[in-house]
Amino acid sequence: MDGRIQLRIPFPNCSTEFLHRHLEGNAGRKEKWKRAHLQLCVLLLLFFTFGLASAKKWDGVVVTQADFQALKALKHEFVDFRGVLNSWNDSGAGACTGWAGIKCVNGQVIAIQLPWKGLGGRISEKIGQLQALRRLSLHDNVLLGPVPTSLGFLPHLRGVYLFNNRLAGSIPPSIGNCLLLQTLDLSNNQLTGIIPPSLANSTRLHRLNLSFNGISGSIPMSLSRAPSLVFLALQHNNISGSIPASLSNLTMLEELNLSHNQIAGRIPDELGSLARLNSLDLSNNAISGSFPESLSKLSSLVTVNLKNNNLESQIPESIEKLGNLSVLDLSNNKFKGQIPDSIGNITSITSLHLSENNLTGEIPISLVNLQNLSSFDVSYNNLSGIVPSVLARKFNSSSFVGNIQLCGYSSSTPCPSPEPETRPSPSQGAPKHSRRRKLSTKDIILIAAGALLVVLLILCCVLICCLIRKKAASKAKNRKSGGGLVTDRSAKPAAAVGREDESGAEIGGKLVHFDGPFVFTADDLLSATAEIMGKSTYGTAYKATLEDNNQVAVKRLREKITKAQKEFEIEVAQLGKIRHPNILA
Ligand SMILES: *[C@@H]1O[C@H](CO)[C@@H](O)[C@H](O)[C@H]1NC(C)=O
Ligand SMILES: *[C@@H]1O[C@H](CO)[C@@H](O)[C@H](O)[C@H]1NC(C)=O
Ligand SMILES: *[C@@H]1O[C@H](CO)[C@@H](O)[C@H](O)[C@H]1NC(C)=O
Ligand SMILES: *[C@@H]1O[C@H](CO)[C@@H](O)[C@H](O)[C@H]1NC(C)=O
Ligand SMILES: *[C@@H]1O[C@H](CO)[C@@H](O)[C@H](O)[C@H]1NC(C)=O
Ligand SMILES: *[C@@H]1O[C@H](CO)[C@@H](O)[C@H](O)[C@H]1NC(C)=O
Ligand SMILES: *[C@@H]1O[C@H](CO)[C@@H](O)[C@H](O)[C@H]1NC(C)=O
Ligand SMILES: *[C@@H]1O[C@H](CO)[C@@H](O)[C@H](O)[C@H]1NC(C)=O
Ligand SMILES: *[C@@H]1O[C@H](CO)[C@@H](O)[C@H](O)[C@H]1NC(C)=O
Choice between 299 and 41, residue whose per-residue pLDDT is larger: 299
Kind of pairing between the strands at 539-545 and 529-536 = antiparallel
Q: How confident is the model at residue 453 (pLDDT cuts 50, 70, 90)?
A: confident
In this predicted structure, which of 180-189, 340-349, 502-511, 519-528 has the lowest mean pLDDT? 502-511
Residues at CB less than 6 angstroms from ligand 2: 26, 163, 187-188, 207, 209, 211-212, 231, 233, 255
Q: How confident is the model at residue 434 (pLDDT cuts 50, 70, 90)?
A: very low
Q: Which residue in 109, 121, 113, 129 sits closest to 146, CA to CA?
A: 121
Q: How confident is the model at residue 554 (pLDDT cuts 50, 70, 90)?
A: low
pLDDT in tens, 72-85: 999 999 999 999 99
Q: Which residue in 271, 272, 273, 227 sits closest to 250, CA to CA?
A: 227
Cβ within 8 Å of residue 22, ≥6 positions away: 30, 34, 38
- Neighbour count for residue 438 (Cβ, 10 Å): 11
pLDDT for residue 495 is more than 70: no
What confidence score (pLDDT) does residue 524 get? 56
Distance between Cα 322 and ligand 9 center (Å): 28
pLDDT for residue 279 is more than 60: yes
Distance between Cα 269 and ligand 4 center (Å): 20
Please tell me the number of the ligand nearest to residue 382's CA.
8
In this predicted structure, which of 277-291, 332-346, 436-450 has the lowest mean pLDDT? 436-450
**Ligand 1 neighbour 425 (Cβ under 6 A):** no
Global model pTM greater than 0.75: no
Rounded to whole angstroms, the maximal C-alpha distance in the chain is: 124
Choice between 491 and 164, residue whose per-residue pLDDT is larger: 164
CB 541 within 8 A of CB 533: yes
What confidence score (pLDDT) does residue 514 get? 58
Choice between 525 and 71, residue whose per-residue pLDDT is larger: 71
Rounded Cα distance between 315 and 154, Å, is 49
**Ligand 3 neighbour 196 (Cβ under 6 A):** no
Q: Tell me the average pLDDT of the chain.
A: 77
**Ligand 5 neighbour 317 (Cβ under 6 A):** no
- Which amino acid is present at 89? N
Distance between Cα 141 and ligand 2 center (Å): 16
Cα distance from N-terminal residue to C-terminal residue, the chain:
112
Phi, then psi, of 536 in degrees rounded to 5: -140, 180
pLDDT for residue 584 is more than 80: no
What confidence score (pLDDT) does residue 437 get? 45
Distance of CA 329 to the CA centre of its chain: 14
Rounded Cα distance between 103 and 549, Å, is 107
What confidence score (pLDDT) does residue 128 get? 95
Tell me the average pLDDT across 301-322: 95
pLDDT for residue 220 is more than 50: yes
Choice between 567 and 418, residue whose per-residue pLDDT is larger: 567
Burial of 157 (0-12, 13-18, 19+ CB in 10 A): buried
Tell me the average pLDDT across 324-346: 95
Please tell me the number of the ligand nearest to residue 97's CA.
1
CB 385 within 8 A of CB 407: yes
Q: Which atom of ligand 7 is nearest to the CA of 312?
A: 14
- Neighbour count for residue 24 (Cβ, 10 Å): 16
**Ligand 1 neighbour 417 (Cβ under 6 A):** no
Distance between Cα 401 and ligand 9 center (Å): 12
**Ligand 1 neighbour 120 (Cβ under 6 A):** no
Q: Which residue in 359, 398, 360 sits closest to 379, CA to CA?
A: 398
Distance between Cα 444 and ligand 6 center (Å): 41
**Ligand 5 neighbour 344 (Cβ under 6 A):** yes
Q: What percent of the chain has pLDDT over 90?
A: 54
Distance between Cα 430 and ligand 7 center (Å): 14
Please tell me the number of the ligand nearest to residue 365's CA.
5
Tell me the average pLDDT across 243-271: 95
**Ligand 5 neighbour 366 (Cβ under 6 A):** yes
pLDDT in tens, 103-142: 998 889 999 999 999 999 999 999 999 999 999 999 999 9
Kind of pairing between the strands at 119-121 and 78-80 = antiparallel
Rounded Cα distance between 115 and 84, Å, is 11
Q: Which atom of ligand 6 is nearest to the CA of 371?
A: 1
Q: How confident is the model at residue 534 (pLDDT cuts 50, 70, 90)?
A: confident
Tell me the average pLDDT across 468-473: 66
Cβ-count burial 554-583 (b if 16+ within 10 Å, e if not):
bbbbeeeebeeeeebeeebeeebeeeeeee
Choice between 534 and 26, residue whose per-residue pLDDT is larger: 534
Q: What percent of the chain has pLDDT over 70?
A: 66
What confidence score (pLDDT) does residue 414 get? 85
Please tell me the number of the ligand nearest to residue 279's CA.
2
C-alpha torsion angle, residues 258, 263, 265, 268 (rounded to 10)? -20
Tell me the average pLDDT across 225-244: 95
pLDDT in tens, 394-430: 999 999 999 999 998 888 888 877 644 444 333 333 3
Please tell me the number of the ligand nearest to residue 323's CA.
4
Q: Which atom of ligand 8 is nearest to the CA of 361?
A: 5
What confidence score (pLDDT) does residue 544 get? 74
Pocket test for ligand 8, best of 382, 405, 435 (most atoms within 8 A of CB): 382
Residue nearest to atom 2 of ligand 4 (CA): 300
Choice between 176 and 535, residue whose per-residue pLDDT is larger: 176
